[in-house]
Amino acid sequence: MEKENSNLLQKAIINKNLFDFALGNGEYYLTDREYGTHWTLGIWLYHIIPCLEKNEGINEINDMFEQLINTTTPKSIATNDSLLMHTYTYVSLLQSGRIKNKVIKDATIIEAIEKLSTYFEFLKTADSHKYEEDIYIFNLLKNRFHEIKPQ
């Protein structure tokens, strides 16, 4: 009997569902017990990093970021939330040494930050409560990226 693949990134690669994986849709949803939302950090710790440690999934992770960047608009809250959380988590794990080598190009992170800047301009007037909840994470992302980005 063949063992079912429990790594969600590998499953998303096989099923060509990187976008759903990024958003935490369907079988790719991992519950954050503290907040009851999709747990992006858990996705990185338990599904993405194990693949990266075996030099697997690097191209697909870059594709996932490109898909998020290319499909987001200022009004697409779910896509922007995923882009924010994946970018923030990646940069934080890289800064802390949990991810040993850069696997996403700096230019991609810069492009993500630019897209998110447009989103936060929209959000500031459209949903000030959500803006106040998320702007702190966005500012941390920018500061942490600045610290790890070569000058």
| Confidence (pLDDT) at 76 | 92
Give the tens place of pLDDT for each residue, 126-151: 999 999 989 999 999 999 999 987 65
Predicted pLDDT at 54: 94
Average pLDDT over residues 5-22: 94
Mean pLDDT of the chain: 92
pLDDT at position 148 is 85
pLDDT at 2: 42
Distance of CA 80 to the CA centre of its chain: 10
Check if the beta carbon of residue 72 is closer than 8 Å to that of residue 119.
Answer: yes
What pTM value is reported for the model?
0.92
Structure tokens at 101: 């080598």
Q: Where are the alpha helices (DSSP H) in 31-76?
A: 40-43, 49-53, 58-71
Q: Residue 107: count other Cβ atoms within 10 Å of its Cβ.
A: 8
Cβ atoms 115, 69 nearer than 8 A:
yes
